[in-house]
Amino acid sequence: MQSSRRTTIWLFCVTSIVATTGFVQNSAQTGNDVRSLYTHLFTTSGYNKDVRPAQNQSAPTSVSVQLLLTGFLGLQETSQQMNAVGILTIQWRDDFLSWTPYGGVTFIDVPQGLVWKPDLQVQNSLSSFTELGGSFMNVRVSSNGDITWRPYVVFDTKCLINIKFFPFDKQVCSINIVAWNSDNSTVMLTKGPVSFEVDDDLTGGHWTISDPKAETLIDDGMSFIIYMLTFTRKPKIYIFNIIIPMAFLVVLDIFTFIIPKDSGEKLSFSVAVLLSIFILMTVVTSLLPISSAATSYLEIFLLIDTGLGTLILMIVVISLRIHQRPKEMQIPGCVRALTLLSWRLGCRMSQNATRKDDYYVTKIQVMSFSGGDKQKWMKEEKKERKREPVVVLWTDVTSAIDFYMFWLFLIVFVTSEIVLLFLTVSN
């Protein structure tokens, strides 16, 4: 019991000594020390924020810039603009702001307007140029002269959109940082790491951000840092809301050729489907940038579908016109041959041939023959039927047109869609 009590007292004493020691060390940094340091740095030493903080003015000041992307507001295809927010971590050394620690003061935070700062700007910004950060922001100054500045920036940058492979496309957008009024002999930018903390929910569910890169560039004596971000579009919403419905509409339009002409719905059905195709094409066009250098394969897909729908409507109108021709009007030989070929390909017979078959079957049933006479009569009738020309009517011609057009448009549609889909997905 006494041993346990002694142990408890001993631990309490040790803890108290450690805590007291830490308090003494922290309490060594007094307000007077900080005030004296401020006076020494910004008053006594004659610090001038307009003078580049380098003892050797012939050597450039090295400025490191890191980018942390914290939010993605959108990638506007029509205006070709990227909107994002992030934090720039900017570091450099100020030779005029170093000190021997005052009572253990190793760093201080001062308003950004009190110290020299590199005149950094977003070179490809679409908004007006303003000073990074604000009067309410501080910079951290370390005792060795290192300064860290972390301004929060809203990026509204130009991003050229290539819609050739839409909606299976990837877009590369850049954020170009430049020392606007300084050349590389006075300020030299060095790249730091680029990273992002953006969830898919913050990208609107349409994009994924990947493969961030940074590179430095000297152009016309000016130092640049270019941060590149790759945006990969999520195509699912476009597949289910545009591509598949458009394919269904075109297939539905092709089935116009199966609707009987006498039903009176053939023309109205084709017009309704064509209008639906035009409406869907208008919706897609509004999503794409007008000034894009490339033409989207999806636009070609929609143009082909619209062209097929228009041709189908024209053929339906012509076919209905032919369907109303009088029986007395002569049918050209080539048209008659193509009509007969459609019967063979479709394993069909004309109504005229069917009526003949019914007539001969009835005739055989009502007549009585002996075995030999019946066989002889059937052979003679067969020869006579072969000599008789097959009657082809204008209604048969329009049925043949429907047969040929159905298969022709179906083959053209399937072939074109497979080719375009392969080209689009091959990105």
Q: Does residue 237 carry a pLDDT above 70?
A: yes
Q: Output the pTM of the full model.
A: 0.68
What is the torsional sign of CA 402, 404, 407, 408?
A: negative
The count of structural domains within the chain is: 2
What backbone torsions phi and psi does residue 57 show, to the nearest 5 degrees? Answer: -75, -10
In a domain, 26, yes or no: no
Query: What is the per-residue pLDDT across 173-210, written as a single tens digit (0 to 9) for each?
Result: 999 999 888 888 889 999 887 777 665 555 556 888 88
What pLDDT digit, counting tens, does each position of 283-325 carry?
Answer: 877 777 666 667 888 888 888 888 888 999 899 888 888 887 7
Whether residues 120 and 202 fall in one domain: yes
Distance CA 335, CA 397 (A): 7
What's the full length of the chain, in residues? 427
Q: Do 297 and 407 share a domain, yes or no? A: yes
Q: Are 147 and 283 in the same domain?
A: no
- Residue 2: pLDDT over 60: no
Q: For residue 342, what are the domain limits?
A: 235-350+390-427
Pairing of β 207-219 and β 120-122? unpaired
* Domain edge (last residue) among 219, 234, 249: 234
Are 39 and 138 contained in the same domain?
yes
Q: Are 77 and 147 contained in the same domain? A: yes
Same domain, 164 and 257: no
- Which of 199, 219, 234 is the endpoint of a domain? 234
Q: How many CB atoms lie within 10 A of CB 159?
A: 21
Residue 17: pLDDT over 60: no
Residue 3 lies in a domain: no
Residue 415: give its domain's CATH number: 1.20.58.390
- Which amino acid, one-letter code, is at 377? W
Tell me if 145 sits within 8 A of 97, measured CB to CB.
yes
105 and 221 belong to one structural domain: yes
Name residue 96's amino acid.
Answer: F
- Same domain as 264, residue 217: no
CATH of the domain at 188: 2.70.170.10
